[in-house]
Amino acid sequence: MDQVQKPARYIGCEDGAVTPKHRPDKAAWLLIYPDTYEVGLPNQGLQILYEILNERPDAVAERSYAPWTDMAGVLRNNRLPLFSVDTHRPAADFDVLAFNLSAELVYTNLLECLDLAGVPIRSADRRPEDPLVIVGGHCTYNPEPIADFIDAAVLGDGEEVVSEITEVVTGWKASGRTSREGALRALAGIEGVYVPAAYTVSYDGQVISGVEPCWPEAPEVVEKRTVADLADWPYPKNQLVPLTEVVHDRLNVEVFRGCTRGCRFCQAGMITRPVRERPADQVRTMITNGLQRTGYDEVALTSLSTADFSGIEEVVAATVNDADCGQVSVSLPSLRVDAFTVGIAAELQRARRTGLTFAPEAGSWRMRQVINKLISEDDLYSAVESAYSQGWRRMKLYFLTGLPTETDEDTLAIMEMARKCVEMGKTHQRSPSVTVSIGGFVPKPFTPFQWFGQNTEEELRRKIYLLRDDAKKSHNVQMKWHDSRATVVEGLMSRGDRRLGPVIEDVWRAGGVFQEWSEHFDVSLWTEALERHGLSFEGYVYRHRTEDEIMPWDHLSAGLHKDFLWQEWRDALNEVGLEDCRWTPCYDCGACTGYGIEHVVASAVPPAGGSQGTGQPSNGGAVPVQLSGLKS
């Protein structure tokens, strides 16, 4: 294996791994993360489904990850197939190849994995003996660019729907796998499962003119799946502990799912509504048991905004003070500055300090009203003051550029904010530092900005260079940024349609794998492929959409009313902020009413940034209480 840089990626044998017993009457799932092992191993979604499926008597599940280019070369040169890391079983021997798609730039890796598995990359070419190819994850809210390559996509939470899919697969196997279309028709009848072959798409020049189901089993609109009560799903119970270094190498415990903050740029916050909290006592149990079993000395409490979790200070305090856990550090990866209090900072600092990351997203108050991130300068500086006063010396601030209506003044406000944070830190620390991370904005489906024409690559690059030159004037401020060329390709995949399938295939055949890795990304592959097929970035990425235009994903549903999203888009252009709905009557976005969950207005005082929708918010410090509960 001297030809392979990191052979530990492929051997398995992790603590928490299983060795399933395959039988003809069981549905065999291969869960594939289409990126390297060190990126995919910590993924909670894959680990949750791995456990749930292996607990079923009629299913087995194993894992695989995209082989790095060196290993892919070895496999091809020796005519060896993609295999599972658990038992090294060939991928084509499984009944289902299930991919977790959390980023659009992995689409060519999906094709790479299928080809290495010996499975036809196009669904129309697959035979009854070939595995079903199913995808899940946030990208499946617009799976149209990869519709040619997949048999089905799952929208929303996977905990319940994988069991229903398993029943279809076991029935298909029992019938002798005689009809692949019969299996797809059965999948199309499951709520939350989208089968592209069940729909025909028509076009009128550049735009879509209609999407119609062509099978009676297929609904006109595919609704997402939502797990109503996280307490019923305390997974993962046996988190995998790798034998080699991976990203986020720590215990991860999900504390809640969903978000009501209403940030207009944030697809995750929109598509995962409504908020569902895990009971605090269950969180503490999962932390204690997980730390004892894995031996980790760091736990990350994960969600879209962890500081919004009810009783977050008590959970953190219980963790750092638990003698059974030992000396443990607590990481809150997603922090809203208006919910980060001195109390949280004080509890976190009692253990080993990790870096803090805050996401103001925009440098000026005007832009934060546009994107509905209603965080005032006072909110940010209060959080920064809390952190520096409790001993932190480093922090990271995350911003977006290329947002709707953004001016150069808004852009330069980013560095002004960073400089003020450093100056504030000097009152508490000898050499405080701030790292500014800049990402190019990509409009996503099912957000109010889905109608926005994304900034061109040249304009994004100009704004980044504007910030880079300004950062050179600042001591103790470092700047990192995302490649603007990759940003526009992400935009292409985010809002594209089925006509992009041949483009993706061309890029893959030209060697364009691991496009999310800077050393492999090549924008010319995408530009040339688009030109060959008579398509362009202008047609997909840079143009604004009209209210009546049919979106590629309009036959899919994230549970949100389209007129709600359009009104939010108009409010954004008018610089009107919208208060967090936990403190108000329902806005009728559709998220709660569609899934049997009752909207509950919190009775506590709203936190900073949550009380003034159209003006500068007042400062405060209350941690929000749980906003929604099941209907009794």
Cα angle 342, 347, 351 (rounded to 5 degrees) comes to 135
pLDDT band at 554 (very low <50, low <70, confident <90, very high): very high
pLDDT value at 611 more than 50: no
Question: Can you give the pLDDT at residue 612?
Answer: 38
pLDDT band at 65 (very low <50, low <70, confident <90, very high): very high
Task: Give the mean model confidence (pLDDT) for residues 143-165.
Answer: 98
Six token digits for residue 362:
């925009």
Question: Can you give the pLDDT at residue 350?
Answer: 63
Six token digits for residue 227:
């797990």
Q: Higher pLDDT residue, 291 or 320? A: 291
pLDDT value at 294 more than 60: yes
pLDDT value at 615 more than 70: no
Question: Can you give the pLDDT at residue 594?
Answer: 62
Task: Give the mean model confidence (pLDDT) for residues 567-575.
Answer: 97
Question: Can you give the pLDDT at residue 146?
Answer: 98
Task: Give the mean model confidence (pLDDT) for residues 291-301.
Answer: 91
pLDDT value at 624 more than 70: no
Q: Which of 24-28, 383-387, 441-445 has the lowest mean pLDDT?
A: 383-387
Question: Can you give the pLDDT at residue 2?
Answer: 76
Half-sphere exposure of 50 (CA within 13 A, CB side): 30
φ and ψ at residue 96, rounded to 5 degrees: -135, 130
What's the rounded Cα separation, in Å, for the pair 436 and 359?
10
Cα torsion 117, 123, 128, 132 to 10°: value is 60
What's the rounded Cα separation, in Å, for the pair 380 and 386?
10
Give the orientation angle of helix 377-389 with respect to helix 342-349, to 10 degrees.
30
Question: Can you give the pLDDT at residue 424?
Answer: 92
What's the rounded Cα separation, in Å, for the pair 177 and 531?
40
Q: Higher pLDDT residue, 386 or 466? A: 466
Question: Can you give the pLDDT at residue 290?
Answer: 94
Per-chain mean pLDDT for the chain: 90
pLDDT band at 617 (very low <50, low <70, confident <90, very high): very low
What's the rounded Cα separation, in Å, for the pair 341 and 321?
19
Task: Give the mean model confidence (pLDDT) for residues 322-333.
Answer: 76
Q: Which helix (H) or strand (E) holds 566?
A: helix 562-573
Question: Can you give the pLDDT at residue 349?
Answer: 62
pLDDT value at 629 more than 80: no
Task: Give the mean model confidence (pLDDT) for residues 389-393.
Answer: 86
What's the rounded Cα separation, in Å, for the pair 172 and 331?
45
Question: Can you give the pLDDT at residue 125?
Answer: 97
pLDDT band at 37 (very low <50, low <70, confident <90, very high): very high
Task: Give the mean model confidence (pLDDT) for residues 451-475.
Answer: 96
For 245-267, how does the pLDDT look when each residue is reduced to its tens digit (9 = 90+)?
Answer: 899 899 999 999 999 889 999 99
For 347-385, how does the pLDDT look when each residue is reduced to its tens digit (9 = 90+)?
Answer: 666 655 566 788 899 999 999 999 999 989 988 888 888
Strands 628-630 and 597-599, how do they pair? Answer: antiparallel
Most confident of 318-327, 417-426, 604-613: 417-426
pLDDT band at 341 (very low <50, low <70, confident <90, very high): low
For 162-215, how does the pLDDT look when each residue is reduced to its tens digit (9 = 90+)?
Answer: 999 999 999 999 999 888 999 999 999 999 999 999 999 999 988 999 999 999
132: Cβ–Cβ under 8 A, 6 or more apart, which residues?
A: 95, 96, 97, 151, 152, 169, 183, 184, 187
pLDDT band at 19 (very low <50, low <70, confident <90, very high): very high
Question: Can you give the pLDDT at residue 355?
Answer: 66
- Regarding pTM above 0.95, the answer is no
Question: Can you give the pLDDT at residue 354?
Answer: 60
Q: Higher pLDDT residue, 153 or 393? A: 153
pLDDT value at 419 more than 70: yes
* 553, 140 Cβ separation under 8 angstroms: no
Question: Can you give the pLDDT at residue 164?
Answer: 98
Q: Which domains does the chain have, with CATH numbers?
A: 7-223 (3.40.50.280)
Question: Can you give the pLDDT at residue 581?
Answer: 81
pLDDT value at 501 more than 60: yes
What's the rounded Cα separation, in Å, for the pair 281 and 258?
20
Question: Can you give the pLDDT at residue 335?
Answer: 65
Q: What spatial distance separates the first Cα and last Cα of the chain, rounded to whole Å?
A: 59
Task: Give the mean model confidence (pLDDT) for residues 212-240.
Answer: 96
SS3 assignment, position 44: helix
What's the rounded Cα separation, in Å, for the pair 569 and 133?
35
Question: Can you give the pLDDT at residue 619?
Answer: 31
Percent of the chain residues past pLDDT 90, beyond the cut: 75
φ and ψ at residue 341, rounded to 5 degrees: -110, 165
pLDDT band at 505 (very low <50, low <70, confident <90, very high): very high
Question: Can you give the pLDDT at residue 568?
Answer: 97
pLDDT value at 605 more than 60: no
Question: Can you give the pLDDT at residue 504?
Answer: 98
Question: Can you give the pLDDT at residue 1?
Answer: 55
pLDDT value at 336 more than 90: no
Question: Can you give the pLDDT at residue 353?
Answer: 59
What's the rounded Cα separation, in Å, for the pair 508 and 603?
53
Question: Can you give the pLDDT at residue 316?
Answer: 86
pLDDT value at 152 more than 90: yes
pLDDT band at 518 (very low <50, low <70, confident <90, very high): very high
Question: Can you give the pLDDT at residue 334?
Answer: 64
